Each structure stands twice: as structure tokens, then as C-alpha cells.
Chain A
Amino acid sequence: MKNKSQKKLDQTVSRRFLFLSLFKGSIIGTIGWKLFDLQLVENRKYEKLSDNNQFNYRIIVPERGRILDRKMRLLAGNMDGFSLVLNWNKYLNVHQIIKNISKIIVLNEKDINNFYNKIRFQKNNFSKQILITKNLSQKDVAKLAVRIIEFPEISFSMSKRRVYPQGIIAGHITGYTGPYSKNVENTSLHGIDVGRRGLEKFFDTQLRGEFGRKRNEVTSKGYVIDSQIYENTKPGSDIQVSLDMKLQAFAVERLQRGNYDLAFVDNENIKNQISKLKNFSYVSNNQVYINKKKKVVNPQSGSLIVMDINNGEILCSVSSPGFDPNIFTKDLEVDDWNYVKNNSRSPLLNRSMAGVYPPGSTIKMAVALAALESGIIDYKTRFFCNGSKELGTSKFHCWAKDGHGNLNLMEAIEQSCDVFFYELGLKVGIDKIALMMKKLGLGQYYDIQIHDRAKGVVPNIKWKLKRDGLNWSLGETLNASIGQGYILTTPLQLVTMVSRIANGKFAVNPSLTISSENKKFKVLNINNEHLNFIKKAMEKVVVGKKGTAKNYKIGSKNIEMAGKTGTVQVVRITELEREQGLIKNEDRPWEKRDHALFVGYAPTINPKYAISVVVEHGGSGSSVAAPIARDVFKHLFKL
């Protein structure tokens, strides 16, 4: 029989038993709930994390499409390159590996620094392929390959490197490729090059193709145990552009030469001069340009565009100084970068499309057309030029100090008389001139395949009021009438203007692509008779007795060019300076010399091509720009 205390104990134990059972039940319940939460409620999240552990996706980059010129010459292509990569994980002694590799091949110091930087920024310890160097030679590969057993952590990868065989000749047009973005953290796109400039940028999606993906199964220590293609790549398509690289090459050489002479770097005098110049550009390894005074000079800067006046195709588009896009696809060298970055002549600027210049006298056709179209003057209207035109207190000079005398429109264009156009401008008014300029393609963007372009300025009364809140003054009309003052144009706009005049029917737009079918342009809507008259006047500029470009005829029986010269003042000349006598262009510092311009077309009968030449601070349009245009036409027509 149980005694009292025994009974009480039994009771207590039973109670405690129950209590503890409840306690255990609640603990098990908590665990069950936690499992429910992990496995059912948050399942998705953990599945994803598990997938991230298990798989590691690598982008497969398709081969980038090529860029070809109109005769299928290569502008941009791909070259096989060998890269060396480290299959990194946190257990590796990276320094030792690099040291061992360095015993076999020479590693670029910059590559090594980059490599260590990448290692330093590894946030997690999961394995990754880290690039050691991109520039492995065949020899290096062979050397390493025979000893690959000593380096289980490294592997080679064949990569394609973008190359531009034309180099510096067409850098502005092709542009270049570069890393996706330097700031992007997305490492899956790491090391993928995309178009950064020029055609490479504009046609990036077509050229790039479609990325594929590879799925690797990796262990916690980073060993890839399985790999399969997850998405297929689609190679990029080739792009054909309207450029003719042969013409382009000729044009670059001709523009840069200007009126200079070639000289070999063979005497102390020349070497001495070179050492004093900053950012000096050689013509070739041992050749430089010298001017008439035997002084060493930089090649001419400027732009040269040749355009088909019927379909708007651009045959060549030169911007000098150029840059070699290949320097961007290799790892950029400091010297190369300094050359393009700190050069006062800004090689990176595409002068043809993004450079703006006052058009100078090359605008006179537009002013004349505006006057003819508005019926204010006819072909016989004459004005007298005595060398200057007075307006209020100001005096506006003609380039010919003693004046041109009494002349009509044809003669005024031929001799490029400024006073005639002052009078014309005053009669027509800026708004009508501006309208004609717009009609001929100035002051607007074109639908061209280069993002990097400028709009220029075509001023009118409203524009000035909007910009400065000031009324337009007549003096400004006079300036605008000879292409000075507010007005700014790009060389591309000038060549388009000439194309439209030469075409006569359609408002041609420039294009860098070739299309097999005929392009449809808007109707130009200018009286054909007026246009023919202007064209006649432009012919006179070259063939006329007093033509400003009379010294630079093509001189062929069948083919002659027509055009208009332009000389643009870049500094204001005061009355005092004028009285003391003008300083000769060659004697001024380079930045203060006049721009030399020439626009034209050829042949005169059934025109085919238009040209615009801008030689920055080159001197006079007739003596510097016109011969360049003539020579390019000669080359183009194989004369």
C-alpha cells in the first residue's frame, strides 16, 4: 500500500510528466513550424539560392559582325587572340601561381596589376574565371601548354579581338568597341565589348548578334563538374557601308598634306624643330611636313567629304587629325591615351559631322538663291563694289581691298564679291536667307548612322530674340550674307547643300549605308532655272577668267569641277589693323589663321559627286582648299 507522501509524489510526478510532455510537444511543434516555413513558405527563395550555388551561368559571346566598305574591303574585323584565365577560388595561393607563370612567360605589369585588382574585389568565395592577360602570343601559349600540368588552375581561352585594319584612316567613322560599361556591377556581362562610338555604336545590335549562355555546375570549391550550352549564340551580321577606303586613304593623305612638302627626318635642323613641338604628328616613321619656309609643321587639320549627289551615299569622310581605333581595343596605353586626350587639335572629334565652322563665302549660293527665288533681283541686277559698304557707323569690307567695280550676280559669285552680297542680304532679309539655307540642308540633323553629330546654327530674327532677347540688326544680316557671324555649319551640311544644288530635283540626305533600291528624297522645290544659273556661276568660279579657283581646274576634256571657295576669318580685324596693313595669314599664330573652305561638285555636265573641304586655319579657300578638292576629284575620276 502506498503511504501518503508516496501518493503525493506520484501525483506530482504525473503532473510534471504532463507538463514536460506539453513542453516537449511545443518544442517539436516549433521545429515543425520552422521546417514548414523553410520548406514550403520560403521554398522559392531557397530554391533560387540553391540554384545559384549549383549553377553558374557564363555568357557566350558570338562573333561580332564585320564592317565592310562599298568594295567589300574590311573596316572592322576580328582577330584570334589567346587569353589566359585563372579558375580562381579562395583556396588558391594566387601570388605563387603568378610567380610561377612569370618564370615561363613574360607578363605585362599592367595586366598583373589589373588582375590583382580584380582578385581584391571578389566579394564572395565562389569560384570565378579571372582574366590574367588578353595578349598572349602563340609562342606563350605553346610554352605554357607543355607545362600545363603544373598549373591546373589556369586555362586558355580563345577570344576574338576587334581589329581595324584601316587604322587611323577611318577611326571616326568605324568608331570602336569597349567594355560593356566600366561601372556596371553585373559580372555576367564582364569582359563583353560593345560598340562605343561611330558605326560600331550605331549598328551595335546587328553587329553584336545574340549572346548565348553556358551553364556550369560547380562544387562549393569551384570545380566545374558539368557544363552545357543553355542558350545558343547567334553571330552578328556584317554591315556594308558606302565608304570607298581607297578614296578615303587618298583623301586623308591629300588633306593633311595641304600645300606642304614632305621632308625626311634626316638632318639636325628638322630633329631640333620636332623636339620643340608638342603633340607633333609624323607623316610616317621618318617623314614630316614642312611649309614653304622650310619649317616643320603638323599635318593639316580639317575635314573632307565626298558624297554621291543622287543617292546621298558618302564615299569618304575624313576628319584630321584622326585616331587609331585599335588603341581602344587593346588595353589602352597611356601614351596613346595622352595623344588623343591632351592633343590641342582633339583627334577624337569627328570634324566632318560634329565640327562646326562658319561657312564663309561657300554660303553665297544660298543667299543668291534666296534672292532669285524671292524675285528681288534678276540675273542682270548690278551692284557697285568699291571695296567696302558703310552701314550706319560701321564699315563692312570686301576681301578685295580696292573693290570689284560694277558686277552682276554671276560675276559676284565667280569673284566672290562681298559687297554685292551685302547689298543682296539687305534686300532679301535674314529670314528669307535662313529659309533657303534650311531648304539646302543647313542647321539641321540628318538621319546619319553616326550618333556623334552637330546641328550647326542658321540664325534668323526669331532665333536671336529667343537666344539673346535682342533684336536682329542689319549689320548681322551683312555678316550672315557672307557666311560669318552667328551662322555655323558642319562640313557634312555643306556637302549636302552642294549635293542638293547639283542634284536640282531632290533634297538629298547623306547616308553611310548602301541601299540597292532607289532612295526616295523630298522634292527640293527650287526653280530649276535659278539653280542652273547658280551652277553656271559655280562653274565660272573654276573656269572663269576671274574665278577664285581658276588655278585649280581639273583640265580634262570631259570632266570639270564646279564649286565655291570660302575663306573664313576667325578673328575680328579692327579698322586700326586694316589701316596698318593686314598681317599675312602665314605670319599669324596657327589658331588665328583663316579657315580654308571649298565646296563643289563634278562633273559639271551630269554631276555625280559633291565635295566639301575644310582646312582648319589653312589660309585661303582658293589656294589651299580648292587644289585639294581638285586632286580628290582627279583621283575619283581616275584622271
Chain B
Amino acid sequence: MNRNTNKFSSETMITVFFSKLLKINWIIILCLILLGLVGVASLYSAAGSDWNPWARNHLIRLIFGFCLMFFIAFIPSHFFMKYSVLSFILGVFALILVKIIGSGSVQRWISFGSINFQPSEIMKLALILILAKYFDHISKIQLNKLIPYIIPILIIMIPGFLVISQPDLGTGLTIILLGLSILFFVGISMKFVIFSILISISSIPFIWQQLYEYQKNRILIFLNPEMDSLGSGYQIIQSKIAIGSGGLFGKGYLLGTQSRLNYLPEKHTDFIFTLISEELGFLGSISIILVFCLLITSIMKISFKVESLFSKVVVFGIGFLIFLYLSLNIGMVCGLLPVVGAPLPLVSYGGTSLLTVLIGVGIVLSINIHDKKV
């Protein structure tokens, strides 16, 4: 193994800092800044040309998040491997805590004073880290048998079901999908994959019975939005109207009628993409998707380049997480998926998903800096 080790003795901190700075993938940073600013601009529009209540806060969170990201980027990557198990255990603990002391009828949040914190989001990162560590460790033994997959499946299912029982089906499924994609990535046998798909399809009726009424409704209404054009279907109908009426060039920045006249529900959080589509049209929405694609491919490229399996898995996992965020959110707003409550990271108002992505990208940058073929 040829690991990049830090030799502080002959170099000053400053040169180390600058050498690390040079290794940072600036395309990723550029994409993040771009998306963040799109978010600020959209929230400014969503509030009816007002910095309050969202745009200003979002900008502050972005600045804080970027600082955090850079800080993490300079932490040596083996640090994450070291604390992955701890972070996972803390995460599970937080999820259990949320069940006990969580606020509201839907227990998703832990409040520290005025800051609300959603442990399920951070859990995604912890899951990636612990799975990466596990497979990095197990790869030295063997990965083509089925037995070593039992523990990771447990690792995935514990937080997965904890989150689903909050109840937050969207995030829960995201966690499970994320975990399974990592299993698939490290080479779980194709037969097993097909077998599990069959199992999960046949278990749909059982899962259906376990779902809450509102979750069942969401799925039914997704299948036929007109069924309830005033209730839950209203959201998706209005969202499609907004996107569709945008056309090629959109109605113009700040001029979206659907958003201005409050026909869009949750226009500042999960449905922010709708507002962008309405005001900036097809060109605008495709551009945003392309920026996301550039971000994801840049991260995937790093995953392809890095040497250790841990790094590969972590970077892949974070890239895939961003992909999941993107496809769930846009799939939801344009009617391809049921309304599950998935934010568009960096653009949607809401600190947790923003932090999750920025911390995640921080880890990616750190790996990019510290874990490379010499």
C-alpha cells in the first residue's frame, strides 16, 4: 500500500494548506456555489421579491456550510474511517431519541434551542461511512460470497426502518436505496440482486398494510392525481401546471404566476424546482439538472480515481446520495414519483439537506486531497 502520509517536519502549515488547496476539485466547488446561488435567487422570488424570510437565511447557511465543507476537506481522510462506527452509532441513537422526544406528531426533528436538526439526513452520511469501512475491511477476506452481506444489510435496515417509522417514507427509502446501491457497487452477486427484487415486489402487499393512511393516499394519488384534485393531488396538479406553463424560456424571473399567486404548495422547500421551471422554463430547469450532473460526474470521477476501497465507496456513496436527492425531488415535482417529501439539496430552503450535502462533498474533497495514487 502506498499511502499519502503527512510530513509536517519540513513543510510549514501554510505550504501544506496551499498544496491542499491546489488539489481541491474546483469544478465541484463551482457547481455547489452555482446551485447555492440559484437557491438564494429562487427563494428571493418565492418570497415575492423579498430577502425575508428565506433568501437571507439560506445565504447565511450556505456561507456557514461552505466554511464547514472546506474545514472538512482539510481533515485527513483516514479520520472518517476511524470515526465511522461511532458516527453510525450516534446516528442510530439520535434516531431513537427522535422517536422519544421528537417534536410534533411527525417525529423527525430534534431541537437545540432554535435550531432544528433532522438526524435522518446525517444518518445517510454515517451509513455510507460505516458501509465503506466494513467493505474496505472485508474485501481483504472475500466479497463474492453472500455471508459477508448479512451484517451490512442489517446496518442498512436498522436506520432505514427507524426513519420509516417516524414516519418518513421518503427519507427511509432513500437510506435503504443508498445502502443497497453500495452493496451493489461493491459487487454483491447479480443472482442475489434479482432475488431481492423479486422478494421486495412480492412483499409489497405486506408493506402496503404497514403504511400509514396518508402514505397510502399519497401513493394512490400519485397514480391518479385527479382523484383528489383539491387535497393531496392538488399539489402535484398545480406543480405540473407551473412546470408546463413555463415553456421553453419561462415566464421570466420573479414573474411566475403560479408561485406569486400561491398556487404552488411548499414552493420554498420541496417544490422549489417547480418555481424555477415556471420562471426560467425548460432551458433553466435543464441547466440546473446539467449542473447537478456535472457535480455528480465530477464526484464519480474521483471515486473512479481513488485507490482504497473505503475511499471509492465513500465517494461513490456521496455521489449517489446527491443523485438520489436530485432524481427523487425532480421526479416528484414533475409527477414521475409520488410526493414523498424530498428536498432539492442546496436549492431548497432547509438546513439539514444542505449541510448533509456540503459535509458529504467536504469528505469527498478530503478524500480527493488525501487519498490518491501517487
Contacts and interface: CB of A to CB of B under 8 A. Distances in A.
A362 B218 CA distance: 82
Nearest to B327: A27
9 contacts: A9-B143, A14-B304, A30-B336, A31-B289, A35-B286, A38-B240, A54-B258, A54-B261, A124-B230
Interface stretch (A42-50, A134-142, A272-280, A583-591): A42-50
Given A35-B334, A39-B247, A219-B261, A53 B327 contact: no
B300 to A, nearest CB: 7
A46 B285 CA distance: 16
B149 to A, nearest CB: 14
B184 A16 contact: yes
A35 B285 contact: yes
A12 B139 CA distance: 12
Across the A-B interface, the 5 shortest Cβ-Cβ residue pairs: A46-B244, A50-B245, A12-B187, A39-B282, A54-B257
B366 to A, nearest CB: 21
B296 interface: yes
A221 B262 contact: yes
A207 B158 CA distance: 78
Given A16-B187, A50-B242, A220-B261, A39 B285 contact: yes
Interface in B236-276: 238, 240-248, 257-258, 261-263
A34 B241 CA distance: 13
A39 B261 contact: no
A171 B308 CA distance: 99
Given A47-B244, A47-B247, A220-B262, 14 more contacts: A12-B187, A20-B185, A20-B316, A20-B320, A28-B289, A28-B293, A31-B289, A34-B335, A35-B334, A39-B281, A40-B248, A43-B248, A53-B258, A219-B263
A31 B289 CA distance: 9
B258 A50 contact: yes
Given A5-B142, A17-B304, A125 B243 contact: no
A9 B261 CA distance: 55
A9 B135 CA distance: 11
Interface string B296-310: 100010011000010
Looking at chain B's contact residues, the main secondary structure is helix
A218 to B, nearest CB: 7
A294 interface: no
B38 interface: no
Contacts of A43: 244-248
Given A13-B312, A20-B320, A32-B286, A39 B246 contact: yes
A46 B185 contact: no
A31 to B, nearest CB: 5
Contacts of A16: 184-187
A53 to B, nearest CB: 5
A6 interface: yes
B187 A39 contact: no
Interface residues of B, number: 49
Contacts of B143: 5, 9, 12
Interface in B303-338: 303-304, 309, 312, 316, 320, 323, 326-327, 330-331, 334-336
A21 interface: yes
A31 B181 CA distance: 20
A9 B136 CA distance: 11
Interface in B185-242: 185-187, 229-230, 238, 240-242
B277 interface: yes
Given A13-B186, A36-B282, A218-B261, A50 B241 contact: yes
Contacts of B181: 20
B289 A13 contact: no
A47 B245 contact: yes
Interface in B321-374: 323, 326-327, 330-331, 334-336
Interface string A279-296: 000000000000000000
Interface string B135-172: 00001001110000000000000000000000000000
A24 interface: yes
A9 B285 CA distance: 38
Contacts of B330: 31, 35
A414 interface: no
A123 to B, nearest CB: 10
Nearest to A34: B334
A217 interface: yes
A534 B243 CA distance: 85
Contacts of A24: 296, 320, 323, 327
A14 B240 CA distance: 38
Contacts of A8: 144
Contacts of B241: 46, 49-50, 53
